[in-house]
Amino acid sequence: MTLNWMGLNMRKFKTSLYLEIKVYLKGKRFLKGYKIKGGFNMAVNVKTATCESADKILESFIADLDFDTCHHRIGTQDIKCGFGLQGVCCKLCANGPCRVTPDSPKGVCGATADTIVARNFLRAVSAGSACYLHIVEKAAWNLMETGKNKGNIKGKDSLDELASLFGIAEDDEYEKAIKIGERVLVDLYKPRFERMELVEKLTYKPRYDRWQELGILPGGAKSEVFDSLIKTSTNLNSDPVDMLLHALRLGICTGLYGLFLTNRLNDIMLGEPKIRLASVGFKVLDTDYINIMTTGHQHSLFAHLEEALTTDYAREKAREAGAKGFKLIGSTCVGQDMQLRGEHNQEVFAGHTGNNFTSEALIATELMIKMICIDDVAKKANAELIEYTYEDREKISSYVIEEAIKSYQNRRDKVVINIPENHGNDNTLTGISEDSLREFLGGSYKPLIDLIAKGYIKGVAGIVGCSNLVSGGHDVFTVKLTKELIKRDILVLSAGCSSGGLENVGLMSPEAADLAGGLLREVCKDLGIPPVLNFGPCLSIGRLEQVATELASILNVDLPQLPLVLSAPQWLEEQALADGAFGLALGLPLHLAKPPYITGSKLVTKVLTEDLEELTGGRLILDDDVVSTANRLEAIILAKRVALGI
β 89-90/98-99 pair status = antiparallel
* Shared-domain flag, residues 266 and 296: no
- Give CA–CA dist 467/378, Å, rounded: 19
Residue 101 lies in a domain: no
- Give CA–CA dist 10/1, Å, rounded: 9
Residue 463 in contact with residue 567, Cβ under 8 Å?
A: yes
Residue 419 lies in a domain: no
- Structural domain count, the chain: 4
CATH code of residue 185: 1.20.1270.30
Residue 310 in contact with residue 387, Cβ under 8 Å?
A: no
* Shared-domain flag, residues 533 and 467: yes
* Shared-domain flag, residues 607 and 472: yes
At residue 574, the pLDDT reads 96
- Give CA–CA dist 142/608, Å, rounded: 37
What distance, in Å, lies between the first and last C-alpha atoms of the chain? 79
Task: Return the number of other C-beta atoms located less than 10 Å from residue 594's C-beta.
Answer: 17
Residues 6+ apart with CB under 8 A from 423: 55, 57, 58, 61, 281, 282, 283, 504
pTM of the model: 0.91
- Give CA–CA dist 216/196, Å, rounded: 12
Closest CA to 282 of 513, 569, 32, 59: 59
* Shared-domain flag, residues 177 and 75: no
Residue 560 lies in a domain: yes
Q: Which of 270, 290, 315 is the last residue of a domain?
A: 270
* Shared-domain flag, residues 380 and 467: no
Helix (H, G, I), strand (E, B) or coil at 425: strand
Kindly give the parts of the chain with pLDDT less than 70: 1-48
Residue 277 lies in a domain: no
At residue 412, the pLDDT reads 84
Residue 532 lies in a domain: yes
Which structural domain range is residue 250 located in? 113-270
At residue 470, the pLDDT reads 92
At residue 388, the pLDDT reads 95
Helix (H, G, I), strand (E, B) or coil at 568: coil
- Give CA–CA dist 361/262, Å, rounded: 29
* Shared-domain flag, residues 266 and 291: no
* Shared-domain flag, residues 235 and 211: yes
- Give CA–CA dist 224/130, Å, rounded: 10
DSSP notation for 436-456 = HHHHHTTSSSHHHHHHHHTTS
* Shared-domain flag, residues 523 and 608: yes
At residue 366, the pLDDT reads 82
Residue 275 in contact with residue 159, Cβ under 8 Å?
A: no
- Give CA–CA dist 322/315, Å, rounded: 11
* Shared-domain flag, residues 437 and 407: no
Q: Which of 246, 270, 294 is the last residue of a domain?
A: 270
Residue 433 identity (one-letter amino acid): S
